[in-house]
Structure 1
Amino acid sequence: MNAQKGFTLIELMIVIAIIGILAAIALPAYQNYIKRAAYTEVTSAIAPIKTAVDTCFAIEKDLAKCDTPGEIGETMPTGLTGKALKSISIAEGGAITATPNDYKGIKTAETCVLSPVKETSGAGQAAADTGRLIWTYSGACVNNGYVKN
């Protein structure tokens, strides 16, 4: 008697079910990875502005003197069409806001704010200004997991 070769219908259905489950898990994870990778363009564009604010603060010792492009000696970068970065602005107190374009799943409303706070050592009346800034992210970039503090 000749033995038949090949797979049974149930074996093929099990393989298809396994592939379907793996795709259902992998596809959202991949899409989130693509968004985070595209958002790195936005966060990396903040770096030179942050450095300029740090430098200005080290010289001036006052964030109020480091909250315009002219005061920090930088021009605000703007993105190109089809890229992740739309614009960067600096606000009172040195807070830097980055706005992305609608790009690879990122939405324009998913802004990122990087805010400086003067670092101090000690507590109460003995607290002394260290001359450094501590930076914290806030906004949709943190809520969506694009950056971490």
Structure 2
Amino acid sequence: MKSMKIVKKAQAGFTLIELMIVVAIIGILAAVAIPAYQDYVAKSKFAAALAEVSAGKTGVDVLMNQDPNAVQADVQSASGLKAASNTCSSDTASAANAGVVTLVCTINGGPATVAGKTITLSRTGAGAWSCDTNLAAADKTKIAGTSCNGS
């Protein structure tokens, strides 16, 4: 019987088509992941700003129980809002008029969909709070959800 020699050839690397397939897969994943990540960052920036300005409601409610016609400086102080922070470039509170107060946060930084937009918390004389924002109509539901939709 003749002996056959089996020659093993070591694989030298990836073929061009294999590399092209990998690059195509990475491209498809990036095309889906980047917009989803931008939405996530915008939502988190908006939520942080809303949490910051919402923290001022308690102090304002306490002040309105004592003086429903407090001046702006007193309302600003009672809210505990800073003039500027990493989240909001300006937090302002209006002077009270029969218990009616407005707290405003202008979002500092973040994606273009939320950068420079405002969150406005409004208090009625009866003490009910409502939230509104100047996000684009298409972004309100996607970013703000039901937390701040003008109601």
Instruction: Report what 2:110 is aligned to.
Output: 104
| Cα deviation digits, residues 56-101 of structure 1 (max 9, x gap) | 34x25x9x53673415752541225xx2321111236212111123
Computing the radius of gyration from Cα coordinates, the structure with the larger value is 2
For residues 94 and 147 of structure 1, do their structure 2 counterparts lie closer, same or farther at Cα, with a shift above 3 Å needed?
A: farther
Per-residue deviation at 1:30?
A: 1.7
Matched position secondary structure for 2:120: strand
- Among 72, 75, 84, which residue is 1:68 paired with? 72
Matched position secondary structure for 2:82: coil
Q: Is the 8 A contact 1:137 1:147 kept in 2?
A: no
For residues 56 and 9 of structure 1, do their structure 2 counterparts lie closer, same or farther at Cα, with a shift above 3 Å needed?
A: same
Matched position secondary structure for 1:95: strand
TM-score, with length taken from structure 2: 0.63
Instruction: Report what 1:13 is aligned to.
Output: 20
- Among 84, 87, 91, which residue is 1:88 paired with? 91
Map 1:32-71 onto structure 2 (within 5 A). 32-57=39-64, 59=65, 65=69, 68-71=72-75
Equivalents in 1 of 2:41, 2:144: separation in Å? 10
Equivalents in 2 of 1:48, 1:66: separation in Å? 19
Equivalent position amino acid for 2:72 in 1: T
| Cα deviation digits, residues 13-54 of structure 1 (max 9, x gap) | 222111101011111222232233334442232133211222
Equivalents in 2 of 1:9, 1:113: separation in Å? 56
Equivalent position amino acid for 1:70 in 2: D
CA RMSD of aligned residues (A): 3.3
Q: Is the 8 A contact 2:43 2:144 kept in 1?
A: yes
Q: Is the 8 A contact 1:100 1:107 kept in 2?
A: yes
Equivalents in 2 of 1:3, 1:13: separation in Å? 24
Larger strand percent: 1
Equivalents in 1 of 2:26, 2:50: separation in Å? 36
Equivalent position amino acid for 2:74 in 1: G
Give aligned pairs, total. Answer: 130
Instruction: Report what 2:123 is aligned to.
Output: 116
Identity over the aligned pairs, expressed in percent? 27
- Among 116, 130, 142, which residue is 1:135 paired with? 130
| Cα deviation digits, residues 3-22 of structure 1 (max 9, x gap) | 66354433322221111010
Equivalent position amino acid for 1:148 in 2: T
